[in-house]
Amino acid sequence: MMKILRTRKEITAFLNILRERASGVNPEIEKAVRNILSDVKKNGDAAVEKYTRKFDSHNLTLKLTSAEFKRSAKTADKKIIKALELSARRIQDFHERQKEKSWSFKKNGALLGQIIRPIERIGVYVPGGKASYPSTVLMNVIPAQVAGVEDIALCVPTPNGEINPYVMAAIELLGVKEVYRIGGAQAVGAMAYGTKSVRKVDKIVGPGNIYVALAKKIVFGEVDIDMIAGPSEILIIADETANPSFIAADLLSQAEHDEMASSILATDSDILAEKVLRELRVQLNVLKRKHIALKSLERFGAVIKTKSIAKAIDMANEIAPEHLEIMTKNPEKDVKHIRNAGAVFLGQWTPEPLGDYSAGPNHTLPTGGTARFSSPLGVYDFIKRTSLLQFDKKGFMLLSDTVEAIADIEGLEAHANTIRIRRGH
């Protein structure tokens, strides 16, 4: 079970464990991933089919037909379909507000601006091993569609050839036509390098296990990627006004993901800390994924006792968590001091799972402290910005001496010569 950390020495040791968790890579796994990618790059479909037989235990054609996923989608519970439709509308509504427009201005004989264009083709990885996630389809495809991406391919592993009807229902809902039953590093390789069956994409998005994450990291540069996502994490800042049962439930919502997930409470209240630990024991006993959650709490969970909420906020900014909940007397005031977090959830009625599924903001968030310098997935991840420049002779002459002087200083004679030649005309 989680421990209460009170001293700076205890807290520092725990934070070091979190950092090691985020950065640690098994060299054997990395070697295996590189071998798979190399094989896919060299042998294309033959390699993808080989790994699909090995890891997913089927020999079906790589591409799902429209009839196949439509047939599967029809078996989905109508109640879940309605939930997906409502979530899709809210996600669309939120992301519509992220659109950027091309712009330009004229000044002193020059037209300068920026052209906004969508990325032409993207690939989305949708996990499908131990569990399947229709929410991943919504969160990755909708912002791409809002950005104007027209060419979208999905890779969805189908262990033993089984197709998840809820993933297919989400795909059908969004009108995606190109779907492949490929998983793991081989799916990333197929999308990054292209094969006879899978046309090369420009960007790969979507979560996955360590093999998928490493594969995305390795192919970055060949294609763009969204981020290197690590294990899930939550940090809750709470004072004596918070409900301990709510806090325990929210900590467990992350701990049940996997044994590497991190769940942290930072509080200035000893009484609340003890109540949360008692509530955790009660709620843990009724979870189906109890053993996973318990291992997560034991290894990467903690209650950090701080002298004040201000100190708890400092701790949150140091950790830069994926999910940050603030359950204090005045969360709207406290959030003004938050600098580093993937997403912030204010008040006792805003549990993190709202953001996972239906609130609207994207659930693809920076992990492992990367919220210090990166952002949630959004429409801006699916666009390109192109600079626009046009000068008339007057504008050219106004800058010519400046450009020539800098080019000469840098020793780039041909650069300066483009100015000199024009100046004589």
Q: Which residues make Cβ contacts (< 8 Å) with residue 395, sequence separation at least 6? A: 108, 109, 110
Helix (H) and strand (E) counts in the chain: 17, 15
Contact 171, 125 (CB under 8 A): no
Read off φ and ψ for residue 376, nearest 5 degrees.
-60, 155
Read off φ and ψ for residue 224, nearest 5 degrees.
-85, 160
Cα angle 103-104-108, degrees, rounded to a multiple of 5: 165
Bridging pattern class, strands 323-327 and 301-305: unpaired
Q: Which residues make Cβ contacts (< 8 Å) with residue 44, sequence separation at least 6? A: 190, 193, 194, 195, 196
Quote the CA–CA distance of 273 and 265 in Å, as a whole number: 8
The DSSP element (H or E) to which 39 belongs, if any, is helix 27-43
Rg of the chain over Cα atoms, rounded to whole angstroms, equals: 25
Quote the CA–CA distance of 204 and 227 in Å, as a whole number: 9
Quote the CA–CA distance of 60 and 403 in Å, as a whole number: 61
Residues taking part in catalysis: 322-323
Minimal CA–CA distance to 219: which of 231, 206, 203, 243? Answer: 203
